[in-house]
A = this chain, B = another copy of it.
Amino acid sequence: MASSKAAPAIDRRRQILDAAIRVFARQGFHSTRVSDIADEAGVAYGLVYHYFNSKDEVLNELFSERWSLLLAAIEEADRSGAEPRAKLETVAGFIVDSYRHDPELMKVIIVEVTRAANSFGRTHLPEIRRAYDSIAKIVADGQAAGAFRGDIEPGFASMAFYGAIEQLLSGWIFDLVPASETEFGQAKSLLTATICDGLEPR
């Protein structure tokens, strides 16, 4: 049985995934050769195929791991019973913190999946959509409770809110906008202020 054999001291699979994050972030998915991942991880070429069925599957895994956390965070915020505005701030905060904590992984997810809906991201459109829908639900509930104005379609507001966040991260990623602890700290409240003060009835 499984316990009769000790697990390998080092988790090769994890080692390969972590190496892939670095290489994808540095060169992009398309110009990364499988041999680059193996080299970065310090393992043989063939071992990548021992743990994954294809190069795509490596990226899939990275995306799904992280995106499921995001979905959970949004849905938890929704269930929290806080003010609608506070829920959105939680969502923005989670995404910003994800970037602060692991910018390379977030770069890969945004650049190669989320913003690549035509190529790779196509497979993940349903999961991506689920995030938009959950945000839209927060907005809709806020409208029903009178905390948000009712003349803006929740799906539209969701796009505007998520789009603003993602564009800000893109700006950080590509040095179009300064990125430092100061910015990270202010981002979530600035984001919420920018979007909500337009959503809340005056």
Contacts and interface: CB of A to CB of B under 8 A. Distances in A.
A101 to B, nearest CB: 21
Q: In the complex this chain forms, how many copies of it are found?
A: 2
Main secondary structure of the interface of A (DSSP, over half): helix
Contact of A194 (B117, B168, B198): B198
Interface string A166-177: 111011011011
Given A28-B119, A31-B119, A125-B174, 13 more contacts: A28-B118, A111-B118, A152-B190, A155-B177, A159-B168, A159-B170, A160-B167, A163-B168, A194-B198, A194-B199, A196-B198, A197-B197, A202-B202
A70 interface: no
Given A159-B167, A168-B159, A132 B176 contact: yes
Interface of A: 28, 30-31, 111-112, 115-119, 125, 128-129, 132, 152-153, 155-157, 159-168, 170-171, 173-174, 176-178, 190-191, 193-199, 202
